[in-house]
Amino acid sequence: MSGRSENEMSGRPEEKLYSLYKEALEARKRSYSPYSRFAVGAALLTEEGKVYTGCNIENAAYGPSNCAERTAFFKAVSEGERRFSAIAIAGGPADSGELSFCPPCGVCRQVMQEFCDPETFRIVLGNSKGERKTYLLKELLPLGFGPDQL
């Protein structure tokens, strides 16, 4: 998996993606992850520039647990949003300040495929060293199945 710096990205200024990652860090503080002790926050940017945040929400029955990314998407979609440009994800052990690059799980990638253009939607990852990587959805979900196939 090869990342690319925001410097190489065209379009929105890199400051916007850095601030999006900061919002993911803030959302991570609200993570409910007593079982995995792995806290994740996400910040989803709409095409109009509005941000919806989410955190992972676990459950004693495990199955009903939800990822931070999908929490953000479902909040946004339930408020009427349909067009998105980027999501930042911050994840790591809840008891530590250490953050490693935390890519979205397969289920969340599929949810992104439903609402986002794989050619332009960006996924921003970061670590506690201050490093950032940005991927296009098409890089993380090649040959994705989406609404266009139906």
Q: Which parts of this chain interact with Zn ion (CB under 5 A)?
A: 67, 105, 108
Query: What three-state secondary structure class fits 68?
Result: helix
Residue with the shortest CB distance to Zn ion:
67
Calpha distance 140→98 (Å, rounded): 24
**Min. distance of Cβ 149 from Zn ion in angstroms?**
21
Minimum CB–partner distance for residue 141 and Zn ion (Å): 12
Nearer to Zn ion, 11 or 136 (CB): 136
Helical packing angle, 14-28 and 68-78, nearest 10°: 100
Catalytically annotated residue among 48, 69, 98, 139 = 69
**In degrees rounded to 5, what are phi and psi of residue 118?**
-60, -20
In the annotation, is 81 catalytic? no
Which residue is associated with the tokens 């410097």? 7
SS3 label, residue 135: strand
Nearer to Zn ion, 16 or 101 (CB): 101
Residues 6+ apart with CB under 8 A from 149: none
Q: Which is nearer to Zn ion, 9 or 144 (CB)?
A: 144
Q: CB of residue 67 vs Zn ion: minimum separation in angstroms?
A: 3
What residues are labeled active site?
A: 69
